[in-house]
Amino acid sequence: MDTTKYRDLFVSETREHLVSLNRALLALEKNPDDPALLDEIFRSMHTIKGMAGSIGQDQIAELAHKAEDLLDRLRKRQLKLAQPQVDAIFESIDYLESAVAELAAGRDPQQSLKDKGSGLSKKIEALAVAPQSSKTEASSNVSGGNDFSRINPLKTADSFVYKVRVLLEADVALKSARAFLVLHTMEQFGKIAYTVPERRDLEAERFDRGFSVFFVTNLHSEKEIKSRIGYSEIEDIEIEEVVEETEEEAVERRTVSAFTQLAQERPREVKVSTERLDKLMNLVGELVVWRERLKQLAQMSQNTLIQDSVDQVAQITSELQHQVLASRLVAMSEIFDRFPRVVRDAAKVLNKDIDFKLEGRELEMDRSILQMLAEPLVHLLRNSVDHGMETMVQREASGKRKIGTVTLSAQKVKDQALITVEDDGRGIDHEMIKKKAVEKGWATAEQVSGLSQKQAFDFLARPGFSTAEKVTEVSGRGVGLDVVKSRIESMGGSISIESTAGQGSRFLLNVPLSLAIIRTLLVSARKQVYALPMSQVMETFELKPENVRTLQGKTAIVYRSQAIPVQRLSRALKLETEEGILSGPTVVLERQGSFAAYVIDRMVGQQEIVVKPLSRFLNADKTFSGVAISREGHPMLIVDVNNLET
């Protein structure tokens, strides 16, 4: 049977299960006595095993089966959960992620990966060894499926075999008593071959809400069977007739049914390739450019009929634009849910105890930005665990909790996302930073002595800067905040650092929620039109010369009861060097929590623009974040306000 048509669906669904496995296993590591977590992990691994076997990925299925066996013995209390078992299951998840990545690339797992999987299977099998009460009990431990070796001895010429799936209500008080009542009733008009979970597990309440009964009876009416076992506190009953199949028929049925069920479970969702979404976004972007051009031409025509028609087209285009942008949004949980594992592994290597907190998982942003954020956030989290967090002994000595806290949070601020990585560790020693800067020849001792804490922190983003005394598996390799800063700035964002010695540090990332289409204020400077993001425009007004002051050798104005710097935009863009008299139309911009005012030649208007990346010749200039096309069809640069000179 050709199963390649199911491969993409297998990859997609398995990746979702792997994310769930990581999250649940991290929770189980902290709460080893929680049976619900063990059941959740078992079910996910069982599903992966079934899907892998259905499409012929036998080694993936085999490893998942070994892990499933280990989990089954843990949840039946035949083994006590210990760190070796947890580590082995984490290794299984890592292997499955690697194997699925190979399948996603259109190829089967390489031999080296298969060898790793075989070794891991043996390791898990050894960990799963547990004492059994008897040989009979061990052989009767069936995890599911249609076991006709237990069904056939009960069959007669006139009997029928059914699989009865019973789902109890969520708030049922005595699950085992309700399950016993159902089984006792069924035995009045038939014979029970076996149950899943096994009957002893039902009696001990080692199951969630549902259980299945493989049942032999002379009744051939599913409706009548359902009516006989229908009691209160039962949410649903599903009855399916079971027939014995050849091995080939069973494989065909499992393959089709497994993926048909997945499709039916999500009738409102359609998976669309990212390539197709990108093409659709580019087309909508072009449509927006021409919409603006049409609106301008309609105004010039002074024909009300044409203007009304263009307005209608513009309204439809805006709605289409909104829907396409919404289709690109994904929740922060897409990458946030992977970070608890990153922190856990880093803490384990460094022998530190970390309480990791996530906030703002539900915030949505453009998929492309979310993908670019993954690498910087991994670095910042590892940095917090390694450089930021003290050892348990050091924390106790300084009067802190033995367990350190690292928090990753996200919140929406206007049309930007503020992402914060915070720890309650040792903080950043700015005197050590100054010392390192002098050692590397970036500044003299005299120069660094007059630097503020914020100015000293700027050295952290220099290539090759590291205060680590030795290289570890986590950090200290000279690949530092310069990579983070470069990546954040490439998406039109900014990074700032706050730290108090002995109390901890905060890294704040401001990034746009969408890179595709933004609303801008168009201004003119030296006969050139520039675009300023509206999210950072605070106010516009007419500046009078008498309102300009000189403070510490710099020109400033009073804005909201505070002095803020002011200069011509043309000078900030290095289009001219002479300042002259400051007066005329002025715009106040917000930049990383502070304000600055810029005098412009004139206001051009507002426009939604499609952001295009800069060419490699302009990419080194951090003053601009991209380029766009004006209504007139002319190119214009988008100013990166955070990197604009003050």
Q: How many CB atoms within 10 Å of residue 170?
A: 9
Return d(Cα 194, Cα 182) in angstroms, integer: 13
Both tokens assigned to 282: 């580019």
From the list 13, 22, 65, 68, the catalytic residue is 68
**Three-state secondary-structure class, residue 217:** strand
Return d(Cα 31, Cα 282) in angstroms, integer: 47
Assess whether 46 carries a catalytic annotation: yes
* Spatial contact of 372 and 321, defined as CB atoms under 8 Å apart: no
Assess whether 22 carries a catalytic annotation: no
Phi, psi of 498 (to 5 degrees): -125, 135
Return d(Cα 178, Cα 186) in angstroms, integer: 13
Return d(Cα 78, Cα 72) in angstroms, integer: 9
From the list 383, 387, 510, 642, the catalytic residue is 383
Return d(Cα 434, Cα 429) in angstroms, integer: 9
- Cβ burial, residue 80 (10 Å; 0-12/13-18/19+): exposed
Beta bridge partners of 411: 418
Task: Determine how β-strand 584-591 pairs with β-strand 562-568.
Answer: unpaired
- Non-local CB neighbours of 384 within 8 Å, separated by 6+ positions: 406, 421, 422, 423, 425, 505, 507
* Spatial contact of 52 and 60, defined as CB atoms under 8 Å apart: yes
Assess whether 68 carries a catalytic annotation: yes
Please give the DSSP secondary-structure letter assigned to residue 461: G
How far is C-alpha 63 from the chain's CA centre? 26
Residue with tokens 């190829």: 107
Task: Determine how β-strand 160-168 pairs with β-strand 210-217.
Answer: antiparallel
Phi, psi of 279 (to 5 degrees): -65, -40
From the list 46, 379, 387, 430, the catalytic residue is 46
User: Helix 481-490 to helix 367-383 angle, to the nearest 10 degrees?
Assistant: 160
Active site residues: 46, 68, 383
